[in-house]
Amino acid sequence: MQDLLHRITIDSEMCHGKPSIRGMRYPVEMILQLLSSGMTFDEILEDYEDLQRDDILAALTYASKLAEVKSVYKIASVS
């Protein structure tokens, strides 16, 4: 898992400081959005030739780490 997380970089000069894949202009957020839209790994890799399978796995691993929280508190209600 740690090997995958090394693929995630944060650079204030790239992608507005958002976590991205291997210092390239592919934010983790974008990879997650592509997956949630229903694209398969193969479709993403076909459309973005710079990416590797482990990059997609790294984005998922990073997201899963962010979701590991002890508690969630409601701070406001959305209408």
**pLDDT tens sequence across 2-51:** 789 999 999 888 888 899 999 999 999 999 999 999 999 999 999 999 99
* pLDDT at site 24: 94
41 closest CA partner among 55, 27, 30: 55
User: Into which CATH architecture does domain 2-67 fall?
Assistant: Orthogonal Bundle (1.10)
* Cα–Cα distance for residue pair 28/19, rounded to 1 Å: 6
Give pTM, 2 decimals.
0.81
Higher-confidence position of 33 and 77: 33
Asked if pLDDT for residue 59 goes beyond 90, the answer is yes
Higher-confidence position of 42 and 77: 42
Q: Which residues contact 21 (CB under 8 A, 6 or more apart)?
A: 7, 8, 9, 27, 28, 31, 51, 55, 58, 59
CB distance 32 to 21 below 8 Å: no
